Amino acid sequence: MANCTDQGSNALNLQGRPPPFAKDTGVGPCLLLLHAFPLDHRLWAHQITSFRTSHRVIAHDVRGFGRSPLSQEPWSFSDIADDILCGLDTLNIPSLTAIGLSMGGYLAFELVRKRPSLIQRLVLADTRPDADNQEERSARTHLAESVSQIGTDSLVKIMAPKLLRKRPDPSVTKVIQRWIAEASPQAVIHALIAMRERPDSTPLLANIACPTLVLSGSEDLVTSVQDCRKLAEAISGSRYKEIPDSGHISNLENPTAFNRALDDFLSL
Ligand code: MLT
């Protein structure tokens, strides 16, 4: 069991209120959906609709994003993994398929590190295991300062084009811009600092023994196709699939191809 009491004042309430996850729907083997930055569980709408007929689908919100209460204190991915493990223990879920996209992948690595027996299958989409380099760390600091001064406006301008393919569907652009604008500036700042400080998960890859699928948007500008291929090569026996006509948020830009890849993997 995770240590559910040893957390900050914004740790999940384990006395039954509020529910530990933003979405918990469907019946069957459990899928845990871990969202990208600076988004929330709504990123997974297409996957929730498709898979809840055959699976129990749980979508998580990182502290301060979506439906999760804001933490005044900074946090690390280790803290968020503890939130998730406490929530899963409360719901008596001993094993599942973890599906992490980008920042959600950083969280999935943390779950593997903390409780490998939880992860029956692993899906890593548009993510990478290494820590930030010096230039990336400085960019995180700079962006956190800008969000603290002027709110999420700068984030919408910087992030939205990076998350999408070269010629995005205007309706997807609109929804992404809205979701970013709705993100809590304080939550965004905490997430930027957590990403800046996250550990290198490369050494963990050799220990991943469960069936693993690595997915990459064919036009991903944040985590390149090469990065994702390299990640797949480092995980023994893993499968790799490119999602055509999609950028970083491959599950939202091409849900049909993403869901097919996921379904094929889950049916193995
Ligand atoms: C994400 O999509 O979660 C972020 O782009 C990840 C990152 O900035 O490292």
226 assigned to some structural domain: yes
Q: Does residue 248 have a pLDDT over 50?
A: yes
235 assigned to some structural domain: yes
Q: Does residue 256 have a pLDDT over 70?
A: yes
Per-residue H/E/C for 215-253: EEECCCCCCCHHHHHHHHHHCCCCEEEEECCCCCCHHHH
154 assigned to some structural domain: no
84 assigned to some structural domain: yes
* pLDDT at residue 15, as a whole number: 55
Q: Which residues line ligand 1 (CB under 6 A)?
A: 36-37, 102-103, 195, 222, 248
Total number of domains constituting the chain? 1
How crowded is the C-beta side of 165, counted as CA atoms within 13 Å? 21
* pLDDT at residue 97, as a whole number: 98
Over residues 38-91, the pLDDT tens digits come to: 999 999 999 999 999 999 999 999 999 999 999 999 999 999 999 999 999 999
Longest CA span, the chain: 49
Q: How far is the CA of 37 from the centre of ligand 1 (A)?
A: 5
CA torsion 179-182-184-187 (nearest 10°) is 0
Mean pLDDT across the stretch 102-122?
98
DSSP character at residue 184: -
**Host H or E run for residue 48:** helix 45-51
Cβ within 8 Å of residue 48, ≥6 positions away:
23, 25, 33, 57, 59
Mean pLDDT across the stretch 106-123?
98
- Write the CA distances from 3 to 14, 65, 77, integer angstroms: 11, 23, 15
Protein residue with least CA distance to atom 4, ligand 1:
37
187 assigned to some structural domain: no
47 assigned to some structural domain: yes
Q: How far is the CA of 247 from the centre of ligand 1 (A)?
A: 12
260 assigned to some structural domain: yes
94 assigned to some structural domain: yes
Range of the domain at 230: 23-131+200-266
Q: How far is the CA of 28 from the centre of ligand 1 (A)?
A: 30
CATH number at residue 235: 3.40.50.1820
